[in-house]
Every structure is written in structure tokens, then in C-alpha cells.
């Protein structure tokens, strides 16, 4: 039991080693003259500012606002993209019809469309939620389509040989087999939703992490700016690992080698 705990601690330390080295370089570079401390303050100063903002509640307020916007836009994309992706992947004629349009929209820069969303929905909350929805839906949609198309044909043939109807095959075979690919799209889109929102908040908001980063940069509060950037990164990491944990629970039926892949 003790050996297992020690091995687990060693694995965690090994995985955090690269992060520790990076933070050490960040701390030492401005102190030894490799970087200008005005533009890149030591990590210790950023760390102190991070906790000051955390204790004062300023950071939590902006994180909460950004999370609310991200969750709304992401949830809307999830609700629409997963069912639509399952249908497009299952009906080949529908896929051939819609694929050129989907690929065209997919290649259009999300942030380049932000002025269009402002013109359509104004500078308020709706435009920010709409741009997040537009940006996150493609990874979910395309991964869902790919998941349906890549289902093992032997599973479908086996189900048909037992007299299973097309609807039952779709519900009991196609949907479960597509879940790993769907979750891959969800993970990509979840972190993307935060990145898109931060960029949108820099251009038209008075709250949120994006606004906090931009406001600190304009006011030349450099440690505060880096603290906000770190907050955004930590938020993305927490979100990603939370989705990984959910995926493992949902897809317990998968074989271990397939999961590792």
C-alpha cells in the first residue's frame, strides 16, 4: 500500500516536473537580466498578485462572468451539434448535400465574424454567447459525424443479422460507438469556448477574464495581466481534465488499449 502511494506521488511529481522547470526559468530570467522585469516580472510577483486578486474576490467575479458566458454558448452548441452530427453521419445523402456548406463555414475565422454578430445582436451578452456557439459547434459536429462514419461495419451487420431495426441499430449501436469521438469534439470545443470568449471580451465587454487582461495591459498593470492569463490557463486545464474524467466514466465499456489510444 505504501509502495503504491509512493509510486503515485512519484508519477505526479514527474508529470509536474516540466511545469516546475518552466516556472523556475520564468522566475530567474528577469532576475538575471535575460528578460526585462518591466514586461516580464518574476513569477513570484505574479503569484502574489494572483492571490491578492483571489482573496479580494476580483478574480472570482471575472471568472464567474466568463464561465457563465462560455457555458451558455458551449451548451447551445452541444445541444444542436450532437444530434445534427448523428443525423448527418447516419444519412449519407444528407452528408453529401451538407458537407460543402459545413466545410465552408468551418474554414471561416470565428473572430473575423465577431463584427457581424455585433451588428446582428448588439454589443451585449447575446453577441458573445452567439460567437461562442458558432466557434465551438464545428469540432463537436465534425467529430460526431466522423464517429458515426467510423463505427465498425461488423457491429452493424451483426445487429442486422439478428433482425434489429434501423432505429434500434442507430440507438443501440451507432450512438454508443460514437461516444468516444463525440467526447473528443467536446473536449476541443470546451477549451475553445474559453479562448473565443476571452478574445471577444477584449473587444467589447466591461467584465470577464478577457476584459481583465486587456484592462490590465492598458493600465500597465503587468503582474495583474499575467495573473489573469494564468487564471485562463488554469480554467482550461480544469475543464479539460473534468471532461476526461467524465469520459472515462461514460465509456467504461471500452477496452483499455482503445482508451489509451
pLDDT of residue 257: 45
Domains detected in the chain: 1-38 (no CATH), 41-260 (1.10.3720.10)
C-alpha cell at 49: 498578485
End-to-end CA distance of the chain: 29
pLDDT of residue 4: 72
C-alpha to C-alpha distance for 261 and 150, rounded to whole angstroms:
15
The three-point CA angle 95-244-1 to 5° equals: 150
Q: Burial-class residue 227 by CB neighbours within 10 Å (0-12, 13-18, 19+).
A: buried
pLDDT in tens, the chain (261 residues): 677 777 777 777 777 788 889 899 999 999 988 888 888 999 999 999 999 999 998 899 999 988 888 889 889 989 999 999 998 888 888 878 888 888 888 888 887 888 888 888 887 788 888 888 998 888 899 899 988 888 888 877 887 778 778 788 888 888 888 888 888 888 888 878 888 888 888 876 788 888 899 899 888 899 999 999 999 888 888 888 888 888 777 766 555 444 444
Closest CA to 179 of 121, 253, 87: 253
pLDDT of residue 47: 93
pLDDT of residue 102: 83
Cα within 13 Å of Cα(247), Cβ side: 18
C-alpha cell at 78: 452541444
Q: Considering the entire predicted model, what is its pTM? A: 0.78
Q: DSSP secondary-structure letter at 66?
A: H
> Which residues contact residue 74 at a Cβ distance below 8 angstroms, ignoring those fewer than 6 apart?
132, 133, 136, 189, 190, 193
Give the CA-trace dihedral at 10, 13, 14, 20, to 10 degrees.
-160
C-alpha to C-alpha distance for 24 and 8, rounded to whole angstroms:
24
Which residue in this structure is represented by grid cell 470565428?
110
> Which residues contact residue 127 at a Cβ distance below 8 angstroms, ignoring those fewer than 6 apart?
114, 117, 118, 120, 121, 200, 204
- The number of helices, as runs of H, and strands, as runs of E, in the chain is 12, 0
**DSSP secondary structure, 70-103, as one string:** HHHHHHHHHHHHHHHHHHHHH-HHHHHHHHHHHH
Closest CA to 85 of 193, 181, 166: 181
Maximum C-alpha span of the chain: 74
Phi, psi of 10 (to 5 degrees): -65, -40
Amino acid at each position: 500500500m505504501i509502495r503504491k502511494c509512493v509510486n503515485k506521488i512519484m508519477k505526479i511529481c514527474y508529470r509536474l516536473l516540466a511545469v516546475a522547470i518552466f516556472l523556475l526559468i520564468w522566475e530567474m530570467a528577469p532576475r538575471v537580466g535575460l528578460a526585462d522585469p518591466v514586461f516580464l516580472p518574476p513569477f513570484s510577483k505574479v503569484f502574489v498578485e494572483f492571490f491578492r486578486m483571489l482573496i479580494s474576490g476580483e478574480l472570482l467575479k471575472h471568472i464567474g462572468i466568463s464561465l457563465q458566458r462560455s457555458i451558455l454558448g458551449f451548451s447551445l452548441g452541444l445541444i444542436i451539434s450532437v444530434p445534427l452530427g448523428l443525423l448527418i453521419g447516419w444519412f449519407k445523402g444528407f452528408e453529401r448535400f451538407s458537407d460543402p456548406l459545413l466545410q465552408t463555414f468551418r474554414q471561416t475565422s470565428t473572430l473575423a465574424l465577431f463584427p457581424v454578430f455585433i451588428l446582428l445582436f448588439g454589443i451585449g451578452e447575446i453577441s458573445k454567447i452567439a460567437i461562442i456557439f458558432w466557434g465551438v459547434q464545428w469540432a463537436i459536429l465534425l467529430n460526431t459525424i466522423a464517429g458515426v462514419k467510423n463505427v465498425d461495419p461488423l457491429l452493424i451487420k451483426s445487429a442486422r443479422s439478428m433482425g434489429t431495426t434501423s432505429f434500434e441499430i442507430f440507438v443501440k449501436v451507432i450512438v454508443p460507438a460514437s461516444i468516444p469521438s463525440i467526447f473528443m469534439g467536446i473536449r476541443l470545443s470546451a477549451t475553445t469556448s474559453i479562448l473565443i470568449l476571452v478574445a471577444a471580451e477584449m473587444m467589447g465587454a466591461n467584465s470577464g477574464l478577457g476584459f481583465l487582461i486587456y484592462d490590465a495591459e492598458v493600465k500597465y498593470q503587468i503582474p495583474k495581466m499575467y495573473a489573469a492569463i494564468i487564471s485562463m490557463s488554469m480554467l482550461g486545464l480544469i475543464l479539460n481534465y473534468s471532461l476526461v474524467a467524465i469520459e472515462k466514466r461514460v465509456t467504461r465499456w471500452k477496452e483499455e488499449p482503445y482508451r489509451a489510444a
